[in-house]
Copies of this chain bind each other. A is one copy, B any other.
């Protein structure tokens, strides 16, 4: 049976005061065994559930944290979310998820939930809103950035080193003998795109390979857009023999374009992606990519946020986790078939 009762009802039925009922729930050791059992019996019998909003109101704690993802349809984030959620639940917090749909305005709107005291803290997996606003909010409320970040911003951040990862990915292609290496970037308003581009450029320059400007193509974060950009690259007079692509979904788009042009991956064009999505080990050819420790990024970010919520100050603010180059078929480094 479900009955909407309040604490005073329980108190009456158990012949105690509401204070005692409240203590039974939150500090049972303060209550004698007898009363505790008497109260618990009533609570169980009527399946009393405390009115959480009233409790939140009184205690000024929601025990809720807000996570904002740039795009919920991007498979990358689900594992980061798992990491966040597990760490949160283990510490008595629940998670609200906000989908910004790649819109900085919506991102900003979600931060209002903090100002309105609907959440005790916030993990942002996207950082595209106004930097000043963000800084402002983080000065007053617990906040952690993960995956994305803003240079020079004094907000705790968890991510990999995208520049060095991108360098690593590009160098992998260089070491395979490629010099005509293109890069399909993500949108330039996203820091990850800019950093991965930097890494690409660093790798090329440090190996004395001049970068053909036409080899750098900016794409939306989507299969289709990347497909189009790859088609452009293939249409060049001297098409690249290798491409480093912003992420795995886009790498699949690029590969499809190569295939549809009657060419072969990796023989005609070698491809390296980023993120190591599940799909990347399944797709054919399966994709050489940079592995991100997604779950760990999430749980680390939540760990930091919990510290902030508990009033601790973080001596270390920037956490750079280890990535890893995962070599598979699409870059042509080996020909072993990977079976699941």
Chain A interface bracket (under 10, 10 to 19, 20 to 34, 35 or more): 35 or more
Seen from chain A, the residues whose Cβ lies within 8 Å of a Cβ on chain B are: 1-2, 4, 47, 49-54, 56-57, 62, 72-73, 75, 78-79, 81-82, 85, 94-97, 99, 112-113, 115-118, 136-137, 139-140, 223-224, 227, 252-253, 256, 259-260, 278-279, 282-284, 337, 339-340
CB of A113 to closest CB in B, whole Å: 8
- Pairwise interchain contact A284-B284, C-beta atoms closer than 8 A: yes
- Return the chain B residue nearest A3 by Cβ: B140
Q: How many copies does the complex hold?
A: 2
- Return the chain B residue nearest A1 by Cβ: B136
Taken together as a complex, chains A and B put the C-alpha atoms of A116 and B4 apart, in Å, by 9
- Pairwise interchain contact B53-A117, C-beta atoms closer than 8 A: yes
Taken together as a complex, chains A and B put the C-alpha atoms of A56 and B57 apart, in Å, by 9
| Residues in B neighbouring A252, C-beta threshold 8 A | 282
CB of A116 to closest CB in B, whole Å: 4
| Residues in B neighbouring A139, C-beta threshold 8 A | 2
- Pairwise interchain contact A73-B62, C-beta atoms closer than 8 A: no
Partner of A282, one of B79, B99, B113, B223: B223
| Residues in B neighbouring A51, C-beta threshold 8 A | 116-117
CB of A223 to closest CB in B, whole Å: 6
- Return the chain B residue nearest A2 by Cβ: B140
- Pairwise interchain contact B96-A96, C-beta atoms closer than 8 A: yes
